[in-house]
Amino acid sequence: MDLLRVLELYSGIGGMHYALKESSVSAEVVAAVDVNTTANEIYKHNFTNTPLLPKTIEGMTLQDFDKLNFDMILMSPPCQPFTRIGLQGDVTDPRTKSFLYILDLLPRLSKCPQFVLLENVKGFETSAARDALLNTLRQCDYSFQEFLFSPTHLGIPNSRLRYFLIARRPPGCFSFQTSAEIMEGFPRPVSSESSDNPAVPNNHPTPSDSESKSSGPIIFKLETAQELERKRNQDSQETVRRLQEFLREDDDMDQYLLPPKTLLRYALLMDIVQPSSRRSVCFTKGYGHYVEGTGSVLQSCVDVDLESVFKSLELLSDEDKLMQLLRLKLRYFTPREIANLMGFPEDFTFPEHISVKQQYRVLGNSLNIHVVSNLIQLMMS
């Protein structure tokens, strides 16, 4: 069988490329396209033999695309126009321009690619950009299926709920019954009573912490009883692995400890997890720079009871409050640990000159490799 020729758009640090490799599909990336200088340096560092085009997608002509003669598109367009905490500019946001350009080109290619996979944030499914995507796919005779999916489905202790779409053209069809509804779990193959992959339960995704705020009396740490109960339920899910499997001990872990000023200001707002936890909230590009809503922090000293530290904390002086909080040895997850949670293999590395802040930023903009790998296999089967 000939190698499938794959075009990787918005290639970032290579999450789609790693997912393709993990899927074991016989394929090669014939070109990766991105304008982010830092991401491109990291991509080139890890995929030295892949042609990387550091240009805007709109700067490529129809002839440029036709010359690549690709069978599959993997893409993760900019999410800012659709994110729920942004302005939600949708198709009026300039950052959507390149995606709309792709949709305009797709029907005019000399050979429509047989396969398309797209990833974006939750929120994309209600956008005009998504409507334009589906209309274009129908125009080009694609069958497609949409998903809302989190790594917790695969037993990975990290909430990262995302929108996915897989599409394919004849000949051939999907191995499962498609639905007009957005699926919230992996479908079972038509020919089988159970999934080919027992590691992929067909249940509903665990919402990320930012999606499940509940009302009720405050218990401690500005958490309601409902929030506390939900987190305890997550930690009791034995189908999800413990965080300790993804942690690493670097030579200089002190650099990741939260500074006193941050502890005093944000202690009540932080999402704190332990190595034995089976949950963590979504890591964003602001992790390590901003605290609230950017990702969980790790309690390194597990001998100290978390609730006892926060009990009556507000009544203490800043000096005593800090003494209490320092007992927990709270630290940020390292970039390598976040990369582990997102499925990047051990041989994925950063060039030496890429700062920790830059590493957090590009990881926050990336995707979960295990999820995409499973979807590639589903798309191809």
Exactly one of 79, 112, 140, 282 is catalytic; which is it?
79
Whether residue 217 is found in the same domain as residue 140: no
Predicted TM-score (pTM) of the model is 0.89
Residue 131, domain CATH: 3.40.50.150
pLDDT, tens digit, 9 for 90 and up, residues 297-339? 999 999 999 988 998 888 899 999 999 999 999 999 999 999 9
Q: How many Å apart are CA 168 and CA 143, to the nearest integer?
A: 5
Structural domain including 284 reads: 209-363
Confidence bin at 5 (pLDDT 50/70/90) = very high
Whether residue 105 is found in the same domain as residue 237: no
Residue 279, domain CATH: 3.90.120.10
pLDDT at residue 91 in the model: 59
Whether residue 222 is found in the same domain as residue 185: no
Quick check: 256 pLDDT over 90?
A: yes
Whether residue 189 is found in the same domain as residue 108: yes
Whether residue 230 is found in the same domain as residue 96: no
Q: How many domains does the chain have?
A: 2
Active site residue 79: yes
Whether residue 250 is found in the same domain as residue 326: yes
Whether residue 184 is found in the same domain as residue 224: no
Q: What percent of the chain has pLDDT over 70?
A: 86
Quick check: 39 pLDDT over 90?
A: yes
pLDDT at residue 85 in the model: 54
pLDDT, tens digit, 9 for 90 and up, residues 75-89? 998 766 556 555 556
Confidence bin at 90 (pLDDT 50/70/90) = low
pLDDT, tens digit, 9 for 90 and up, residues 179-232? 999 999 888 766 544 434 434 444 444 444 444 444 455 556 777 778 878 888
pLDDT at residue 189 in the model: 66
